[in-house]
Amino acid sequence: MARKLLSILLALCLLLSTGLALAAERTPKPIQTIPYEEISPTVEGQHHYLLLCTDLWKGKVRPADAPPPTQENGKRRDLYGNTDGIVLVTLDTRAHRIMLTSFIRDALIKKPNDGIGRINYVYNDYGPEALCKVISQHIDVKVEDYLLFDFTQIANIVDYLGGVDIELNASEIEYLRRYAVPAGSVRSVETGADLRSGGTHRPGLYHFKGHSAVIYMRIRKAGGGGDFMRTQRARTVMSTLADKCREITWEEAEALVNNIMDNNTMTNINLEGMLDAARYAYSLRDCTIEELRLPPDGAVTPITFAAMAAQEVDWDICRQSMANYLQNSFLVIEDEED
């Protein structure tokens, strides 16, 4: 199905996160990464954008000289938020592909200080540029451009696009009513009834405003599936929004770029760079989204490390999966030429 401006809209996918069950506490195995100067050259025509979302409604800009996180009652005190949403968007203008690579939030990585820790703590502890470098060295793909959002900014983007219509089942309806989403923010498309109103609400299509769409995407404890279903809900919202933008004009695309520039916490992409990304995505508007989750099945083991749930990852398998994923571009081109 056609997609437009996915380099921008797919920021919503940054809410994706996947967690697995707790396991026994143990020391993780050493992690081997690629020296930064030995990372493979970027494939011609591929443009990579790291989209990040912190677990805060109001994010803070992390100063470059920010001190390490403090401890309070034996727990981390993170001032700038943890990037529970991490998605790499790859726009391939040579092979005519749009690719999303999502990272589970509790994957163990080698930190900039050579210690081991969870990937979602790197931004808070070292900054976004350090997270780009960490990801680059773990997947053998040079990642330099990033955008960082908080929940409110994502909600603002959804509202700018006019909200989103989502199919709700009975357990999701019950969860949202119990969560007390704002009055008037979720209404039945069929009847117009406010989800917060009394009476019985049937499963069906509901219209969401931005704030409640973020709450919906964060649901883990409704209908089973945990974080895997939360991932699916985020993708449902993203896909629906992308469909709404299939007929967007270039002038509207430029306006959306400006909205995104107003609704991010931090980015190293200037307006010209954002417009370039929008042009790449616009040229790929007939593409179907391709997705990869890292680590893939068979390359992850749940453990408890430093009293936290974490995932021990086979990064060699991840690098091979990533290489196969990106190098399929050559196969696409060869098939077309044949």
Q: Give residue 235's pLDDT band: very low, low, confident or very high (50, 70, 90).
A: low
Q: Give residue 8's pLDDT band: very low, low, confident or very high (50, 70, 90).
A: very low
Q: Give residue 180's pLDDT band: very low, low, confident or very high (50, 70, 90).
A: confident
Section 307-328 average pLDDT? 92
Cα–Cα separations (whole angstroms), residue 132 to 7, 55, 235, 328 = 17, 18, 23, 23
What values do phi and psi take at 293, rounded to 5?
A: -105, 130
Distance, in Å, from the CA atom of 233 to the CA atom of 214, rounded to the nearest integer, reads 10
Give 258 or 240, the one with higher predicted confidence.
258
Section 259-276 average pLDDT? 95
138's enclosing H/E stretch is helix 128-139
Range with the poorest average pLDDT among 70-84, 136-150, 169-183, 302-316: 70-84
Q: Which CATH number fits domain 162-244: 3.40.228.10, 3.40.630.190, 2.130.10.10, 3.20.10.10?
A: 3.40.630.190
Nearest C-alpha neighbor of 10 from the set 170, 174, 237, 225: 237
Nearest C-alpha neighbor of 315 from the set 126, 137, 83: 137
Give 73 or 89, the one with higher predicted confidence.
89
- The pLDDT of residue 126 is 95
- The pLDDT of residue 47 is 97
Section 167-172 average pLDDT? 92
Range with the poorest average pLDDT among 61-65, 67-71, 265-269, 321-325: 67-71
Section 154-161 average pLDDT? 93
Query: How confident is the prediction for the chain on average, in pLDDT?
Result: 85
- Domain range summary for the chain, segments of one domain joined by +: 6-152+249-337, 162-244
> Is the pLDDT score of 7 beyond 80?
no
Same fold, 6-152+249-337 and 162-244: yes
Q: Which CATH number fits domain 6-152+249-337: 3.40.50.2000, 3.40.50.150, 3.40.50.2300, 3.40.630.190?
A: 3.40.630.190
Q: Give residue 228's pLDDT band: very low, low, confident or very high (50, 70, 90).
A: low
> Which pTM was predicted?
0.82
DSSP 156-225: HHHHHTT-EEEEE-HHHHHHHHHHTPPTTSEEETTT--BTTSSS---SEEEEE-HHHHHHHHT--SSSS-
Q: Give residue 246's pLDDT band: very low, low, confident or very high (50, 70, 90).
A: confident
- The pLDDT of residue 15 is 41
> Is the pLDDT score of 332 beyond 80?
no
- The pLDDT of residue 102 is 85
Q: Tell me the two tokens of residue 282.
A: 């616009």
Q: Give residue 224's pLDDT band: very low, low, confident or very high (50, 70, 90).
A: low
